[in-house]
Structure 1
Amino acid sequence: MHLPFTPNHVQLIAACYPPNAALLTSGPEYRPNSQELSRLTYYASNRPGKINKLAGELEKRVKVDCKKAQAGNIRARASLLISLAIFKALATECRRDISLLSGSLLSSINATLTSLRTDLEVAARVASVFNAWTTYTDGHLIGVDKSVTEEYMSCLQMLAHMGRVDSPSLDHEIKRRTRLLGTMVILGVVTSEALYYSSNQFSSQISTIMPALIIPLLDVDVSTLNHEAARNKDQPLSPHLDNWRDRPTIERRAASIHLHVDGDKGPSSSEIAKTAIHALSILLAHAVAFQASTIVRAIFDCLDDTGGWEKMDHCEWIAIKAAEWTQYQYRYTIPSRLVESLVEGQDAPHSTPRHKALAAMVKTVFTSPTPLINLTLSEIISSLIGVILRRVTVQPDDPLLPLLVECISSLGTHIYYADQIQDLATELISRLALVETNGLGGDKSTSEKCRPQALRCLLASLLGLIQAADRHDSAREDAEELKMRKSISGSVPSSPNPNDVHIKPSRRTKVPPEVWQETMTLLCDADYSVRADYAEALVFYLKHEIPKLGDHTDEDGVRRTHPLVDGPARQASLVNAVMYGDATIRFLNALYAHLHLLATSSVLGMNTRSPFTTPARSVNEDGTTSQDDSRDNSRRNTAIPPRTRKTSVMLRVLQTAPRDVSPATSSKSASLSDYANILTILTTVQECLPVRGLLTAVPMLVAMDKVCVAGKDTDADLSLRLRVIKELVAKAWLSLGKVWNCQDVVNLAQEALESTQSIIEPTVVSEPSTPEIKPPREATSLSTVNWDNTDISLNTEAVLSALASSSTVQEATGLDQQELERRFTSPWTPEVALKELEVQTSYDPLNHDTITSLTRKKGPALMQIENMSLQSLARSHRGGVGVTDLREALEGRSSMSNPNLSNRAPSFSTLEHTSTLAHGDISINKLTPVRSRPQQRSKLSGPSDVRDVLNKLGIGKQNGGIYLKPSFPSQKPDTRPPVPPYKT
């Protein structure tokens, strides 16, 4: 019975409750009277101005009932459940005016959770009301209305805490029910505009809800996560959530949240994980770039708080799914944020589980089948290299280093343009050169101690990068073959799942010799572990990466001539390359120069500031021993290009190095293991590049043989080194004879080697399936060798004669015996081989100055006629005026009217160059920028320049001398009438 003058809205609300005597019997549903509730919602939806009064009255009832229910009043608890049901009905029916209801509704939910958080039935009713509000709200009040924002965040914190509750006093079933309730609420939050509307509040909301989504994932194994993720992909949790952001508010439906019936078995951990997976996938699927970065940061914070970094498999799974669920155009934020987190912790005194998990996550994301775009791989590889160098400085044997090497190697699976691997390798090689010459900075002793490990890590990264790119290409080819077989046969044969294959459209170019050449000085590094690792990397490059350009051997390692393949065009190309030099020839010349220095020098270790700080004893031609105290203290000029600068360094080293073989006066000289590596490299060159290897290696072997003959057996150490070098040369001849199937050379080499015991054997180089940093290897010193003082005598002249007379060699090279003998016996020194790298040869089609000079020299002999077009070819472009000048004059006039064009920076053009995909030789098609002559625009800046240029071209009025002459003398027209042919 209502009192007189009771407001209508109070009467409508009071009518929805059953009588006090029937409150306890209204369970377990605890629903309001349906007919009276319909009257209330109809009244509210048709009179929006009364919603505030209705919500205020309900809020008073809720707060009063909360206090009584907290004290144990059962009737107040039943009334509270009915009030919450009325709130949900009002939120559903008044969804268009939900903002008028938001303040009281959120305040009521906050008061209820604060008083009765442990009551699961009340919490479920609260979660259902909160889920209805998040479904229909537009989020405009979040971040604008302070009271509403505070109430919302308080509710969100308490409900999210339910999703991660882990109290030891709770029963396992109650704990799982509470967690499922919390994750269901979070699922409603991630589909609400309240989360996305305010960018300022987005970060705080994500930090609040993320533990409720991550902790359930850490409580199950990875196989369960994969199973639930597959189910989530195939069967969404609720059809009402599909395209939820595209639907207007009036069409949305709020999912109801209910508890399990008492007596039934509670939810399992997999069900909770399934709900968390669905919520996390929706959250990432609708996040833009900065939101995805915020989500990843919140995941890291959650793993920090819970110690989740210890579960590396789970961390990798989360990283993979985060990249997969994020929108295609924003996926780059996931690996970028991972790398940024690695960089942030690079100065830690010891590597932690966080560092290891982050590195594993980076590698897993890059090697996963998920395609990534918009990645700044140059910045990523630069950051990872910086982390490696920093960790080496902090702790040279840091267990994080192998994982970082794998991270860099995994970048080889992402190839978005043809030269990408080449660019990444160039970045690595430039850092290698910097560390090699300058160390790691800081304390000198620390830098020298950490430098070898840094070089070895970067070498392993470089090798792994190329290997990953090769595996990626082979996997792509296998997938394409499988797809073709499926399309032909109509059925899939027994083969691996194509979804597990990393497939991306890519056709990469090989790393050119000119780029790899920058690392050549590592062959002569002071540390043997660096030399050994580089020798293995070099062998791999020679086998799989260097452009073969027609050089090949058969499967048995023998070079045979195939008429269909080695035709006249191929022979002409090889001869031109050998005569004029190409990138591979220059690479081999530099390689043999470094190998010669490694084999003969007594002190190794190149440094731009003081090469060969230890004086080296050398054997002169007369057999006496001298000491070279010369030092080069010249400072490095940073304006010189890197390749030229490093070549100059090697030339200075050669100036201070002994001219002949020297005894090992230092532990940093070549060891027995170095000579084994040299033999392996020489053998690999002959097997992979037989023609170029033959024509470049023979002069070096002859020169090394002469050095051994000139040495005197006055010192035991020197005699041993000479003996080892002679065996090295003999085994190199043996390998060369086998490759070219020249039995005479094989017999001569075998006879020389059979007369004495063998000291050196080629190193067996293994190619690991995954990139790895091998433990530092120790060299086998020459002092440990027991030898019988017997010498090796090999008739070099007979070997050269047999090679030159070989029909196979003559057919492959296109040279006769006399020309071959002349090339084989041509003088060779390391200085000459290195200086060829700095000389621009005439066999460069892009060198226009060289073509011009050839035109000047050969033109008069070819054309003994008066032809001014030939002179125009030889004349410099600065001496005359042409169409280019006219175009620049017109541009100058337009720039005067447009101030944005008057002082613009000079552009670079690639129109005069061909693609590197057209040919394998990068040196022939090197893409060098061509400056668009900005100097000439300053000469053509006046308004009369166009008229002057037209006059000079002979189009307008002539102002003087004519710069362009016709090709032939002009003739005056004949004005006489034509004479018929039959008249005399």
Structure 2
Amino acid sequence: MHLPFTPNHVQLISACYPPNAALLTAGPDYRPNVQELSRMTYYASNRPGKINKLASELEKRARLDCRKAKAGNIRARSSLLITLAIIKALATECRRDLPLLTASLLASVNITLMSLSSDLEVTARAGSVFTAWTTYTDGHLIGVDQSITQDYMSCLKVFSDLSRGQSKDQEMQNRARLVGLAALTGVVTSEALYHSTPHLKMQVQIFLPAFIVPLLEVDVSTLDQGVSEVKTQPNSPYISDFRSRPPMERRATSIHLHVTGELGPARRDVANAAMRALSALFEHSNGGQAASCMQAAIDWFNDTSAWTRPDHCRWIAVRAAEWTQYQYRYAIPTRLVECLVREQDAPQPTTRHSVLAAMITAVFTSPTPLVNLSTSDIISSLISVVLRRVSKDPDDALLRPLVECVASLGTHVYYADQIQDLAGELISRLVAVEQNGVPVNGKAELGKVRAQAVRCLLAGLLSLIHAAEMHDIAKDDGDDSKTIHKAALVESGVSIQVEGPDTKPSRSDGHIRPSRRSNVSPEVWQDTLSLLCDGDYSVRADYAATLVSYLDREIPKLWDSTDVDGVKRIRPIAEGPLQQATINYSVVFGDSSSRFLHALHAHLYVLATSTNLGVASRSSTTPTPSQRSMNGDTAEDPSASTSEQDVAEEAAPSRRSLVIPRTRKMSVMQRLLRHISSEVLSFADVSATLSDYGNMLAVMQAIHSNLPVRGLLAGVPMLLALGSVAQGASSTDSVSIQRIQAVKELLARTWLTIGKVWDCPGVLELAQKSIPEDFESNLPHLPEPEPGVFHSSRRPTSVLDAPSDLSVQDLDSEGLLLALVSHQTVQDATGLDRQGLLRKLTAQWTAESALKASVEAQSPSVELSNGDALSPLMKVSPAFMHIENLSRASLARSTRGVGVTDLREALEGRSSLSNPNLRDTAPSLSTLEHTSATHGDVHKLTPVRSRPQQRSRLAGPGEVKDVLSKLGIGKTNTTGMLKPSFTSKRAEQRIPSNLTPPYKT
């Protein structure tokens, strides 16, 4: 019954409630009168101006009912449930005018949650109203209206607390969490969250922990099962499907409580609901929003003990990248790296640092593609963290996880030169650390800091390339059309079985399958060769292992490879005449691999014979007198002193650039060469240890096994030179004797490798004669490289610890050389006959000449054997390079050449206008013959010509003949201003004719 003069909107609202006597029996649905509710919503939808009045009246009733229900009034509780249902219906039917209803709706929901948060049924009904609003709102009022924003944030906090609340009753706890997660799921699919990025950060900070807490309470295996269920069953039994239609066509979800007495819900159900909400959050976020969500998760990890669950942290990071949209996934690992960079100056590494590094590695090693990722920036940041941690503590526990982070970048290859670019970045920083050291604070061990920094970067470089190689294998195995592809490979004789992680995709004939990426070029790697002669043995050992891995797996073979059994054979069908000619040209004249091998053999020779290893490094901290040795390492050579020239070079200001130019590396090598005398008289003062000779053997064997042709031409002259030094050196003490024996064993086993690779019985027989029977090798084996692992420093084996008393006999170098050059396979592979090959291998070799050959391309005019066999272009090119520069003869003459245009103009008499070299001086008129523009003809002077009258248009025969002579047509004019470009006599003088061709005819 309504009182007189009751407003119409109040009467419409009151009619929706059942009688007061029926409120107690309105459960369990607590629904308003359907007919009266329809009338009220029809009234509101057709009179938008009345919506504010209706909303204010409903808010007033909700506040009154909350106050009474909180005091225990059951009727007020029933009335409150009906009021909330009316508000939801009004919001659903008046969705177009929802901003008029927003203030009262959020105020009603907020007061309900604050008053009766423990009543789960009331909270579920309030959550349904809140979800209806989040479904249809556009989010424009968030951040604009202060009261609306406060009520909204307050509701988020209540639902977040409800989603991660704790209770003694496990079933009630799970039911309450599901209600909160259902309401927050409506938030993560609403425009209220994504409309403003600053407010998104505030909201995510509030409710994101509610999604993570349920995930931490179950095992990772259970979470993996839940991920598959989310993909296969998008509809949850507790939460309706997410809206994908426009806001006006959406349907708001209803939150229902679990029926009492039925089984569940369990923790797994709660975790699945949280997983669905979290996946929806990242699916709807762009790059910046996904980064903000990840930052909120990290901040919450800092405030709690979540870092003690590394498996769950890694799982969350991987799934966040997987759920984010394809083009925005890069934001997840980028934000993780930024967080790690911000913590790089921590005094001691914590669990947070190690877990962050593990999360980065997990994201990069996951199969989820990460497009638009700036790998260069990522690796630069990681390298900076590595160097900072090393400068604080050389034995920092975070170094190993950081090396794994660097290696994980190689598992995602998106363009051909990506790995080469990343390796170039690592190598540039590696060379910079080698030259300048690492700035340290306080009294730190400069040598140890520098050595650890170099070793970390070397481990990262090795692991990066290995990970990229495994990425190629996995990509080949995971091809969509792998059945057809494998069938085609079987028909073509390609092996498709991968037996282990170190197996490369290869063919049955020994050829390597072309990779989908570019290999790291020898020119890039060549800058690191000086580490082979570093002053610290741990650096030398790690670099030798890395170098062997590079030679085995990465260096471009370019048909210069062995068969499956390790023997080099010529395959005339697979390698036709054109390919063979290409190989001959690159081998004889040199390419990047050949220049690399020249430099490598020069460094190996220095390592075997130098009395002082290492290069003095710069550092911001002044070293003590005991630390002023090479590389700060005083253990191996405490008496080493630096020459005045070295001091002058070190005193020069260093470049700020991270990329060390090749000329600077050459100066470093020149300093190392100064410690080698022209004739090594004794090996007593040589710095190499027994382990160094073992490492050299592994490197040489890798050279001849992987690059047999180039290794033969670049390595045999060095072996002959080193053998000559070992035979001529004096052995007066035990140290010299042991070193000479190590060199002889090194040479003998290298020749054995050459004989096996080329299947040359003569070389094998002579090399085996020098090694006695039952001879135990004195050279320690180089440890196998361990990609992705940063191991502890290796210690060398001294020459005094040689276990065997048997000696290696002197090698018959002449016999070995004759047997090698007489082998037909060697001649066919190199394209040289016996005499040409003998001249090539017996050429005088020094470390300086090899170093020069590593940076200068050889000229075909010098290396080719016979001038008669050259093409005309080959004969002409040297003459072209020696044309006289006429600009030096006279500054007044033009350097422009004479051509057809000049001949045409000479015939037409216009040569004086085009070519000053072909004309007499052009006549000019004096300025006195012109009339003044100001005074007219008053002061007009008589015209006076400074030159005779201009010649007629048609030129005479003299000028045309002059042009023809200058063009070299007719009789050669040796007195003219221009000389012929070249003469056949000059070309013949520059090309020797007494040489034999470099290939077989």
Mark the CA change 1:303 to 1:881 in structure 2 (over 3 Å): closer, same or farther: farther
Q: 2:664 aligns with which of 645, 668, 679?
A: 645
Q: 2:727 aligns with which of 709, 728, 743?
A: 709
Match of 1:332 in 2: 330
Provide the rounded CA distance (Å) in 1 between the counterparts of 2:11 and 2:460.
77
Mark the CA change 1:162 to 1:581 in structure 2 (over 3 Å): closer, same or farther: same
Paired amino acid for 1:830: A
Paired amino acid for 1:777: R
Q: Which runs of 5+ in 2 are unaligned?
A: 489-495, 499-504, 506-513, 619-627, 635-639, 862-870, 919-962, 971-1001
- C-alpha contact 1:954 1:962 (8 A) present in aligned 2: no
Provide the rounded CA distance (Å) in 1 between the counterparts of 2:632 and 2:370.
52
1:344 Cα offset (Å): 1.2
1:304 Cα offset (Å): 2.2
Match of 2:299 in 1: 301
Instruction: Tell me the secondary structure at the aligned position of residue 646 of structure 2.
Output: coil
Paired amino acid for 1:593: A
1:469 and 2:468 correspond:
yes
Q: What RMSD, in angstroms, separates the aligned Cα atoms of the two structures?
A: 3.8
1:421 Cα offset (Å): 1.0
Provide, for residues 235-269 of structure 1, a one-character-per-residue CA deviation record: whole Å limited to 9, x for no partner. 322799778354142x2110110111222234112
- C-alpha contact 1:608 1:649 (8 A) present in aligned 2: no
Match of 2:482 in 1: 483
- C-alpha contact 2:16 2:37 (8 A) present in aligned 1: yes
1:632 and 2:658 correspond:
no
Provide, for residues 607-659 of structure 1, a one-character-per-residue CA deviation record: whole Å limited to 9, x for no partner. 3678859999xxxxxxxxx9996651214664996222112211122113444
Match of 1:680 in 2: 698
Mark the CA change 1:486 to 1:14 in structure 2 (over 3 Å): closer, same or farther: farther
Match of 1:553 in 2: 562
Provide the rounded CA distance (Å) in 2 between the counterparts of 1:482 and 1:686.
38
Provide, for residues 63-90 of structure 1, a one-character-per-residue CA deviation record: whole Å limited to 9, x for no partner. 1221222122222222211211221121
Match of 1:959 in 2: 913
Paired amino acid for 1:632: D
1:813 and 2:794 correspond:
no
- C-alpha contact 2:742 2:779 (8 A) present in aligned 1: no
1:692 and 2:719 correspond:
no
- C-alpha contact 1:724 1:759 (8 A) present in aligned 2: no
Q: Percent identity?
A: 52
Match of 2:105 in 1: 105
Mark the CA change 1:30 to 1:232 in structure 2 (over 3 Å): closer, same or farther: same
Paired amino acid for 2:386: I
Written as runs of structure 1 = structure 2, the 5 A alignment for 1:757-776 is 757-761=775-779, 763=781, 765-766=783-784, 768=786, 770-776=787-793
Provide the rounded CA distance (Å) in 2 between the counterparts of 1:110 and 1:363.
43
Provide the rounded CA distance (Å) in 1 between the counterparts of 2:644 and 2:724.
25
- C-alpha contact 1:513 1:587 (8 A) present in aligned 2: yes
TM-score, scaled relative to structure 1: 0.81
- C-alpha contact 2:535 2:633 (8 A) present in aligned 1: no
Mark the CA change 1:720 to 1:495 in structure 2 (over 3 Å): closer, same or farther: closer
Provide the rounded CA distance (Å) in 2 between the counterparts of 1:487 and 1:792.
52
Match of 1:140 in 2: 140
1:750 Cα offset (Å): 1.7
- C-alpha contact 1:347 1:391 (8 A) present in aligned 2: yes
Match of 1:157 in 2: 157
Paired amino acid for 2:562: T
TM-score, scaled relative to structure 2: 0.80
- C-alpha contact 1:355 1:400 (8 A) present in aligned 2: yes
- C-alpha contact 1:244 1:252 (8 A) present in aligned 2: yes
- C-alpha contact 1:87 1:129 (8 A) present in aligned 2: yes
Provide the rounded CA distance (Å) in 1 between the counterparts of 2:114 and 2:150.
14
Match of 2:81 in 1: 81
Instruction: Tell me the secondary structure at the aligned position of residue 750 of structure 1.
Output: helix
1:486 Cα offset (Å): 8.9
Written as runs of structure 1 = structure 2, the 5 A alignment for 1:374-773 is 374-443=372-441, 445-480=444-479, 483-485=482-484, 507-565=516-574, 567-607=576-616, 631-633=645-647, 634-635=649-650, 638=655, 642-661=661-680, 669-754=687-772, 757-761=775-779, 763=781, 765-766=783-784, 768=786, 770-773=787-790
1:156 Cα offset (Å): 1.3
Provide the rounded CA distance (Å) in 1 between the counterparts of 2:241 and 2:641.
84
- C-alpha contact 2:411 2:467 (8 A) present in aligned 1: yes
Provide the rounded CA distance (Å) in 2 between the counterparts of 1:177 and 1:138.
30
Paired amino acid for 1:533: D
- C-alpha contact 2:179 2:255 (8 A) present in aligned 1: yes
Paired amino acid for 1:723: Q
1:580 Cα offset (Å): 2.2
- C-alpha contact 1:288 1:330 (8 A) present in aligned 2: yes
- C-alpha contact 1:661 1:718 (8 A) present in aligned 2: no
Paired amino acid for 2:662: R
Mark the CA change 1:360 to 1:132 in structure 2 (over 3 Å): closer, same or farther: same
Match of 1:257 in 2: 255
Mark the CA change 1:821 to 1:31 in structure 2 (over 3 Å): closer, same or farther: same
Provide the rounded CA distance (Å) in 1 between the counterparts of 2:874 and 2:34.
107
Match of 1:58 in 2: 58
Provide, for residues 146-196 of structure 1, a one-character-per-residue CA deviation record: whole Å limited to 9, x for no partner. 1111111111111121111125xx411111111100100011111212112
Mark the CA change 1:802 to 1:664 in structure 2 (over 3 Å): closer, same or farther: closer
1:563 Cα offset (Å): 3.0
Match of 2:990 in 1: none
- C-alpha contact 1:699 1:825 (8 A) present in aligned 2: yes
Written as runs of structure 1 = structure 2, the 5 A alignment for 1:20-35 is 20-35=20-35
Mark the CA change 1:951 to 1:162 in structure 2 (over 3 Å): closer, same or farther: farther
1:93 Cα offset (Å): 1.7
Paired amino acid for 2:690: L
Match of 2:977 in 1: none
1:221 Cα offset (Å): 1.6
- C-alpha contact 1:214 1:276 (8 A) present in aligned 2: yes
Instruction: Tell me the secondary structure at the aligned position of residue 753 of structure 1.
Output: coil
Provide, for residues 817-864 of structure 1, a one-character-per-residue CA deviation record: whole Å limited to 9, x for no partner. 2222222222111121112233344369xxxxxxxxx9999449999x
1:808 Cα offset (Å): 2.5
1:688 Cα offset (Å): 1.2
Provide the rounded CA distance (Å) in 1 between the counterparts of 2:351 and 2:631.
43
Provide the rounded CA distance (Å) in 2 between the counterparts of 1:52 and 1:628.
89
- C-alpha contact 2:695 2:782 (8 A) present in aligned 1: no
- C-alpha contact 1:190 1:279 (8 A) present in aligned 2: yes
Mark the CA change 1:11 to 1:563 in structure 2 (over 3 Å): closer, same or farther: closer
Mark the CA change 1:451 to 1:800 in structure 2 (over 3 Å): closer, same or farther: same
Provide the rounded CA distance (Å) in 1 between the counterparts of 2:574 and 2:873.
37
- C-alpha contact 1:647 1:837 (8 A) present in aligned 2: no
1:46 and 2:60 correspond:
no
How many correspondences in the alignment? 868
Provide the rounded CA distance (Å) in 2 between the counterparts of 1:615 and 1:30.
84
Provide the rounded CA distance (Å) in 1 between the counterparts of 2:3 and 2:213.
53
- C-alpha contact 2:689 2:796 (8 A) present in aligned 1: yes
Provide the rounded CA distance (Å) in 1 between the counterparts of 2:485 and 2:968.
71
Instruction: Tell me the secondary structure at the aligned position of residue 262 of structure 1.
Output: coil
Provide the rounded CA distance (Å) in 2 between the counterparts of 1:953 and 1:671.
80
Provide the rounded CA distance (Å) in 2 between the counterparts of 1:526 and 1:835.
23
- C-alpha contact 1:753 1:792 (8 A) present in aligned 2: yes
Mark the CA change 1:727 to 1:862 in structure 2 (over 3 Å): closer, same or farther: closer
Paired amino acid for 1:813: T
Instruction: Tell me the secondary structure at the aligned position of residue 264 of structure 1.
Output: coil
- C-alpha contact 1:137 1:193 (8 A) present in aligned 2: yes
1:749 Cα offset (Å): 2.0
1:398 Cα offset (Å): 2.8
Provide the rounded CA distance (Å) in 1 between the counterparts of 2:641 and 2:811.
31
Mark the CA change 1:229 to 1:731 in structure 2 (over 3 Å): closer, same or farther: closer
